[in-house]
Structure 1
C-alpha cells in the first residue's frame, strides 16, 4: 500500500466517522469519554494523547468510533515507521551485515503489520453494521486476530535489534520509533476488545 493511499484511507474513514454523527460531539464530553476509556489500555497517557486530537470526531460513549479512530492512527503510524526504516538502508550505506539484515527483516514484518491493520480498519467498519450476534463476533474475531498479529510483527522487528553487537545509533533510532507504534497498536487492541465486549452484550 502506497503512503498516499494510506493517507487517503485515513482521511476517508475520518470523514465517514464524522458524517455518521447525528450532531457534532461536545468536546468536553468526548474528552471525558476518551480519558475514561483509555484507562483500560496498557498505556493510558499515550492513549489519551493520541486520541484527544480527534475528540470532535468521536461520539460520546461510542466505543466503535473510539476503536476505529485508534486503529486508523495505528495504521498511519505503522506506515510512517515502515517508510522511515526503509529510508535508513538508503541514507546509511555503511551498515554492518547483521544490521542490514535486521533492518530488511524489520521492513518486511512492519509491512505485514500495515497490511493487517488496514484489514482491521475495514473489518471493524463492517462489524459495526452487523445485525446478528454471530456475524458481529466473527468480524470482531478477525479484527482482534489481525491487530494482535500486527502487534506481534512490531515486536518481532524489535527482536532483531536486541543483540549487543548491533550498532547503538541504529538500534536507538529504530527502537524509539517502533516501540511507539507497538504501544499505539497495543492501545488500539485494548479499545477493540472493549468495543467487542460492550457491543456483544447488546445482542439478543
Structure 2
C-alpha cells in the first residue's frame, strides 16, 4: 500500500439507509420479450433510457438490466480516468480542489466495485433473487447514486474547483441518469415481491460541505481512529446542525492493517437496523 491515503470518508454508505427507497415489485414476466420503449417506461428518465438501450424486440428485462449495468461499469471507469486526468494537473490546483477531486476518485472507485459486484450477480442468473441478495444489490446501486451526488456537492462547495466542476458536470449528470436506469431495471427484473415500507424523510436540513470537506461529529475514540487513518485533524463546525453524527468507524486496507481488507466485508459488518438519529456507521478506505 502506498503511504498516501484517500482523504475522504465513505459518507455515501453512511447516508445510504436514509436515502434508500424500499424494495418494489419485480415483474412476473421478466423473461418475456419486450421492447426498450416499453421497458424504459419503468425508469426515472424514459427518454434517456431509450437512448442508451438497444431496441431488440426479442430481449427481456434481464437482458436490458445486464446491458445497463455493464454500460454503467464502463462509464464508471471512464469517469475515474477523467478525474485522474485533472489530478495530474495538480500543480495548477488549490489544495481544496485536489481534495475534492480525490474524494471523487475514491467514490468512483467504490462505484466500480459496487457495479462489478452487481454485474457478477445479474450475469450469473436469470431468476428473481432472494430478498437478501436483491436488497444487497439495490443497496450497492443506490449507494452509487449517492456517491455521484457527494462528488458533485464536494466540487460545488469548492469555489476554486469550479472550472473542474464544469468539465465533470456533464459526465456526472449522464452517469447519474445511467445509474438510475440500472437501479430501476434491476428492481424490475430481479427484486422479489415485498411489501413497501415508508421511505425515511429528513427532519432537518441536509448537511453540506465546507471548503470541500464534510463536517463530522465523533466521540474521542472514533476521532482518534479517523485522525490516525487520515493523518489530519477532524474538521470542526461551530454549527451542530451542520454536523454528521458518527456512531462508529472502521477502516479498510488491502494490506491488512485496517479492520477489513475489502469494502464488502466492512459493509457486511454495518448494523442493519440503525437510524440516522443514533449516528452513522462510517467506513474509511485507504488507498492501495
Question: Is it true that 1:80 corresponds to 2:82 in the alignment?
Answer: no
Deviations 1:35-58 (A, max 9, x none): 111112112111111112xx45x8
Deviations 1:142-194 (A, max 9, x none): 22111111221122111101226233321111122112111100111011111
TM-score, length of structure 1 as denominator length: 0.71
RMSD: 2.4
Number of aligned residues: 163
Task: Give the equivalent residue in structure 2 for 1:100.
Answer: 98
Structure 1 pair 139–124 and aligned structure 2 pair: CA distance change class (3 A): farther
Instruction: Quote the Cα distance in structure 1 between the aligned partners of 2:71 and 2:44.
Output: 16
Task: Give the equivalent residue in structure 2 for 1:150.
Answer: 144
In structure 2, which of residues 89, 109, 112 is the aligned counterpart of residue 111 of structure 1?
109
Task: Give the equivalent residue in structure 2 for 1:138.
Answer: 132
Higher helix share: 1
Question: Is it true that 1:171 corresponds to 2:165 in the alignment?
Answer: yes
Higher strand share: 2
TM-score, length of structure 2 as denominator length: 0.52
In structure 1, which of residues 119, 122, 128 is the aligned counterpart of residue 120 of structure 2?
122
Aligned partner of residue 39 in structure 1, secondary structure: helix
Deviation at 1:138, TM superposition (A): 3.0
Question: Which contiguous aligned blocks of 4+ residues in structure 1 show a shift greater than 6 angstroms?
Answer: none
Task: Give the equivalent residue in structure 2 for 1:26.
Answer: none
Instruction: Point out the structure with max Rg over C-alpha.
Output: 2
Instruction: Quote the Cα distance in structure 2 between the aligned partners of 1:36 and 1:173.
Output: 34
Instruction: Quote the Cα distance in structure 1 between the aligned partners of 2:42 and 2:52.
Output: 15
Deviations 1:40-79 (A, max 9, x none): 2112111111112xx45x843x111111111111111011
Task: Give the equivalent residue in structure 2 for 1:34.
Answer: 36
